[in-house]
Amino acid sequence: DAGVIQSPRHEVTEMGQEVTLRCKPISGHNSLFWYRQTMMRGLELLIYFNNNVPIDDSGMPEDRFSAKMPNASFSTLKIQPSEPRDSAVYFCASRSRTSGDNEQFFGPGTRLTVL
Amino acid sequence: AQSVTQPDIHITVSEGASLELRCNYSYGATPYLFWYVQSPGQGLQLLLKYFSGDTLVQGIKGFEAEFKRSQSSFNLRKPSVHWSDAAEYFCAVGLDDMRFGAGTRLTVKP
């Protein structure tokens, strides 16, 4: 298995631009998580999905952030418009709710820089 | 609300020395506890986890952790540290709404 796949790995954009981060979970996993990691705030859970349905988006910082999961193999996190304070590493993770394993598997992350 | 505290921001140990990274948690019920390791520029890799049963859990790379309910702790240990263990270590509690500690950065001296 290729693990959780995230793209792009690095993104540099200018303030005000729209940014879309992508995630492909591990095949068969039915929970997907988006995290943000910064020096100041550490690792924060932004939103998670169970069976493609958003369950808890209380960690999404502002309305500028939105996430979708149109099918079991793909999710996006969009920031529109982006701001310099959105610069961070964004991680996607997935988990199987049915295997009993309970471990979240993390992707390599997308390093976002907003100028 | 669940939370995790890692009191040590940075720890330096000599190669071959023993290691203990501290983790204290706050959780309303029986906690799901994890230790993850993150190398620079990489994602997080699970070292070990505790859900129930034996309070001493073994993980990968020679790591172990002990769950102590009375102290609300889940400290990570390794008897002999290798240079390749230098990384950031995160303790986490919860399942879907997992909360991470701030992390402990481990430096290994030759």
Structure token digits, residue B50: 């505790």
Probe site for chain A from B10, B30, B44, B60 (most A CB atoms < 10 A): B44
In this predicted model, what pLDDT tens digit does every residue of B42-98 receive, in sequence order? 889 999 999 888 999 999 999 999 999 999 999 999 999 999 999 999 999 988 788
Shortest Cα distance, chain A CAs vs residue B26, angstroms: 17
Band the pLDDT of A1: cuts 50, 70, 90.
Answer: low
Cβ atoms of A35 and A93 closer than 8 Å: yes
Q: What is the pLDDT of residue B104?
A: 97
Name the E strands within chain A: 5-7, 10-13, 19-24, 31-38, 42-50, 53-56, 65-71, 74-79, 88-95, 105-106, 110-114
List of chain B residues whose C-beta atoms are within 8 Å of the C-beta of residue A33: 96, 98
Partner residue facing A106 (CB), from B44, B51, B97 = B44
User: What percent of chain A is predicted at pLDDT more than 90?
Assistant: 84
Strand-pair partners of A56: A48
- Among A87, A76, A35, residue whose Cα is nearest residue A52: A76
Q: How far apart are CA A61 and CA B19, in angstroms?
A: 36
pLDDT per residue over A47-100, tens digit each?
Answer: 999 999 999 999 998 899 999 999 999 999 999 999 999 999 999 999 987 766
Confidence grade of residue A36 (pLDDT, cut at 50, 70, 90): very high
Alpha-carbon span B99 to B102, nearest angstrom: 10
Per the CB < 8 Å rule, is B96 touching A42? Answer: no
Asked if B85 and B106 count as a contact pair (C-beta separation under 8 A), the reply is yes
Query: Is the CB of A33 less than 8 angstroms away from the CB of B101?
Result: no
Phi-psi region of A89 (alpha: psi -120 to 50; beta: other; left: phi over 0): beta
The two three-digit tokens of residue A12, written as one number: 């540099």
Query: Is B95–A108 a contact, with Cβ atoms under 8 angstroms apart?
Result: no
Nearest residue of B to residue A59, measured between CA atoms: B97
pLDDT attached to residue B10: 97
Q: Which residues pair with A105 in a beta bridge?
A: A94
Contacts of A4 in chain B (CB under 8 A): 43
Are A47 and A60 in contact by the 8 Å Cβ rule? The answer is yes
Q: What is the pLDDT of residue A13?
A: 97
Interface size A-B, in CB pairs within 8 Å, comes to 42
Q: Which chain B residues touch A109 with a CB distance below 8 Å? A: 42-43
pLDDT tens digit string along B24-42? 998 877 789 999 999 988 8
Contacts 24+ apart (CB under 8 A), A30-33: A30/A72, A30/A95, A30/A96, A30/A97, A30/A98, A31/A94, A31/A95, A31/A96, A31/A97, A31/A104, A31/B96, A32/A69, A32/A75, A32/A92, A32/A93, A32/A94, A33/A92, A33/A93, A33/A94, A33/A95, A33/A104, A33/B96, A33/B98
